[in-house]
Chains A and B, each alone.
Chain A
């Protein structure tokens, strides 16, 4: 398996623009997680899905952030409108079950100017 795949790897955008991050989990994994990592706040869980259904989105910072998982092999994290404080590395991870180890993707480094 190729592991968790994320795209793009780097994204530079201007404040106010819409940003869409994409993730393909490992095949057969029922759980998908979106994290954000910054120097100041460390690694934060934004939202996670079980069998394509959002389970806990309490980490989503505000309404500008939304996430979807239309099928078992694809998820998106959208920021609209983006702000400079959204600049971070966004990781997607997947696991085969609850409380199993999570496998992380390579991350998307987002810079909002």
Chain B
């Protein structure tokens, strides 16, 4: 069974601190996706990582992909309150076209 596991599932951090969210998956997918969801809102695409070693950065968020380890990380630098949200990673599913999502990491940044 294809699995996508994120950890931690809940993360409370202080403003200004750094932290990393991990996404492990069981398939041999070469692509990995990160999404953000604000409370009561829809999912917004953050990053699409297309190959081994891919690294993408936007603002205080940086995502990387290691397909050999089947691991992606989402690193948060100097967190601010606006980053509070739930972050999902996803990989290509069994059938061509669909994605398998992790359970999400709920991030709360406190002043």
Convert A61-102 into 0s and 1s, putting 1 for each residue whose CB lies closer than 8 angstroms to a CB of B: 000000000000000000000000000000101010011111
Task: Tell me which of B43, B48, B88, B96 contacts A98 (CB under 8 A).
Answer: B96
In the complex, whether A12 has a CB less than 8 A from a CB of chain B is: no
Docked pose: A45 CA to B100 CA in angstroms: 8
B45/A31 in contact, CB under 8 A: no
**Partner pick for A48 among B44, B92, B97, B101, CB 8 A cutoff:** B97
* A107 interface residue per 8 A CB criterion: yes
| Contact indicator A102/B42 (Cβ below 8 Å) | no
Assess whether B95 is interfacial by the CB under 8 Å rule. Answer: yes
Contact present for B44 and A99 (CB under 8 Å): no
CB within 8 Å of A: which B16-50 residues: 31, 33, 35, 41-45, 48
- With A and B bound together, what is the CA distance between A58 and B3 in angstroms? 16
- Kindly list chain B residues whose C-beta atoms are within 8 Å of the C-beta of A50: 97
Q: Does the CB pair A56–B98 fall under 8 Å?
A: yes
- List B contacts of A99 (CB < 8 A): 31, 92, 96-97, 99
For this complex, 9 residue pairs linking A to B, each with C-beta atoms less than 8 Å apart, are A33-B98, A42-B101, A43-B104, A55-B98, A95-B97, A98-B96, A99-B97, A100-B48, A101-B45
Residues of A whose CB lies within 8 Å of any CB of B are 31, 33, 42-43, 45, 48, 50, 55-56, 91, 93, 95, 98-107
Residues of B within 8 A of A (CB): 31, 33, 35, 41-45, 48, 88, 92-93, 95-101, 103-104
Query: Other CB < 8 Å A-B pairs besides A56-B98, A99-B92, 18 of them?
Result: A42-B101, A43-B43, A43-B101, A43-B104, A45-B99, A48-B98, A55-B98, A56-B97, A95-B97, A98-B97, A99-B96, A99-B97, A101-B45, A101-B48, A104-B35, A104-B42, A104-B43, A107-B42
